[in-house]
C-alpha cells in the first residue's frame, strides 16, 4: 500500500476487504460488522485506543470469528494481525 491510500484491512483484526472499511477517503466508515472480530466499522474502531482495547478483549476471548462459517480453512491469526495498520497495532 502506498502512502495516502486508505487501508483495506480491519483496524482490529487485519482482515482484508475489497473496499476499505473506512471508505475511499479513509475517514468515512461504512458501519458494517467485521465477520472476523465483530467490530462495527466507525463505531468501536474510531480511535487507536479503542481499537487496541477491542482487540485485547477479542484476543482474550480466544479470537473467535463473529461469523464462524466465513473463517477460511487455512486462517492464520498471526498473518492476519500483521496486516493491521501501524497506527492501530
Measured CA to CA, the distance from residue 60 to residue 25 in angstroms comes to 32
Domain that holds residue 79: 1-89
pTM tops 0.85: yes
User: Per-residue pLDDT tens for 23-77?
Assistant: 888 888 888 999 999 999 999 999 999 999 999 999 999 999 999 999 999 999 9
Residue 6: pLDDT band with limits 50, 70, 90? low
Q: How many domains does the chain have?
A: 1
The rounded distance, in Å, linking the Cα atoms of 84 and 89 is: 6
Q: For residue 2, is pLDDT > 50?
A: no
Q: Place 1 in a pLDDT band, splitting at 50, 70 and 90.
A: very low
Amino acid at each position: 500500500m502506498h502512502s495516502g491510500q486508505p487501508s483495506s484491512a480491519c483496524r482490529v483484526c487485519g482482515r482484508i476487504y475489497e473496499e476499505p472499511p473506512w471508505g475511499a477517503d479513509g475517514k468515512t466508515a461504512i458501519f458494517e460488522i467485521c465477520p472476523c472480530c465483530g467490530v462495527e466499522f466507525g463505531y468501536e474502531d474510531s480511535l487507536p485506543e479503542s481499537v487496541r482495547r477491542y482487540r485485547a478483549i477479542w484476543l482474550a476471548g480466544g479470537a473467535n470469528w463473529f461469523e464462524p462459517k466465513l473463517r477460511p480453512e487455512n486462517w492464520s491469526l498471526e498473518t492476519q494481525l500483521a496486516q493491521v495498520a501501524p497506527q492501530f497495532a
